[in-house]
């Protein structure tokens, strides 16, 4: 099955009130395993709303969302939470690392929430991931002592902790200088090629978008071109 299928996704805010507004007007999109897609569009076009829906953080008001062929509209909240934890990884513009935690502890977070494996296995996996993103030597450092680019590398490692099928990256390089942005992008691209992990990258950066497999543009709540 495809990793992601959106079939006529609609989203209205303030449903049932006088200010009810539809902001997504029927989005169709399919992503296969190993896709690396850039999602672009002007501010206010609905990218965040769409990402929240794909990330199972918010439900659509119309249409169907399938993850690995499973219709998420049929799932209750706890099943959705479980699917979100196992199938989807998140990287945000502001990394949201926990500053009181070390890099290793931050990478362990999704596994700690899941409680599916013993502590030593979680530590080992976190160290492997930190090694993969080039931060082995930093594993015992607090996130606050790292550069912006390093912090985003930790965030990428954390997003991979549960070996997700799909990583949603919302302007992960928007806050970085050109060189660091390039490094973080290339890291995600390499992981995409090595593991077949599917990536959906929201970006305003034309250079990075051009290096994705395809570009999808959202304008006024619709897919354009």
- Site residues (CB under 6 A) for ligand ADP? 13, 23, 41, 43-49
**Measured between alpha carbons, how far is residue 29 from residues 18, 40, 142 in Å?**
30, 14, 39
Cα–Cα distance between 173 and 144 in angstroms, integer?
Answer: 18
Cα–Cα distance between 218 and 41 in angstroms, integer?
Answer: 5
- Strands 70-71 and 62-67 come out as antiparallel
Min CB(145)–ligand ADP separation in Å: 27
- Our CB check for ligand ADP shows the closer of 44 and 134 to be 44
Cα–Cα distance between 91 and 54 in angstroms, integer?
Answer: 14
Cα–Cα distance between 135 and 151 in angstroms, integer?
Answer: 10
Min CB(204)–ligand ADP separation in Å: 10
- Our CB check for ligand ADP shows the closer of 45 and 150 to be 45
Q: How many CB atoms lie within 10 A of CB 74?
A: 9
Instruction: Enumerate residues 6+ apart whose C-beta is below 8 A from 136.
Output: 127, 130
- Our CB check for ligand ADP shows the closer of 13 and 96 to be 13
- Our CB check for ligand ADP shows the closer of 94 and 101 to be 94
Min CB(129)–ligand ADP separation in Å: 27
Min CB(202)–ligand ADP separation in Å: 8
Cα–Cα distance between 148 and 173 in angstroms, integer?
Answer: 9
Min CB(43)–ligand ADP separation in Å: 4
- Our CB check for ligand ADP shows the closer of 126 and 209 to be 209
């Amino acid at each position: 099955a495809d990793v992601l299928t959106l079939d006529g996704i609609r989203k209205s805010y303030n449903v049932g009130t006088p200010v009810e507004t539809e902001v997504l007007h029927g989005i169709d999109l399919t992503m296969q395993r190993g896709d690396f897609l850039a999602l672009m569009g002007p501010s206010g076009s609905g990218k965040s709303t769409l990402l929240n829906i794909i990330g199972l953080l918010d439900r659509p008001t119309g249409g169907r969302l399938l993850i690995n062929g499973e219709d998420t509209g049929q799932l209750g909240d706890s099943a959705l939470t479980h699917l979100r934890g196992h199938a989807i990884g998140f990287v945000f513009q502001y990394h949201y690392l926990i500053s009181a935690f070390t890099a290793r502890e931050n990478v362990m977070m999704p596994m700690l929430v899941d409680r599916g494996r013993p502590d030593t296995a979680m530590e080992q996996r976190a160290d492997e991931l930190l090694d993969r993103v080039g931060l082995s030597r930093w594993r015992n450092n607090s996130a606050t002592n790292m550069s912006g680019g390093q912090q985003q590398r930790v965030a990428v490692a954390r997003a991979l902790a549960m070996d997700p099928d799909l990583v949603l990256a919302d302007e992960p390089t928007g806050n970085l200088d050109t060189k660091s942005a390039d490094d973080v992008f290339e890291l995600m691209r390499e992981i995409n090629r090595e593991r077949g992990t599917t990536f959906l990258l929201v970006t305003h950066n034309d250079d990075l978008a051009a290096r994705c497999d395809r570009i999808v543009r959202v304008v006024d709540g619709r897919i354009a071109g």
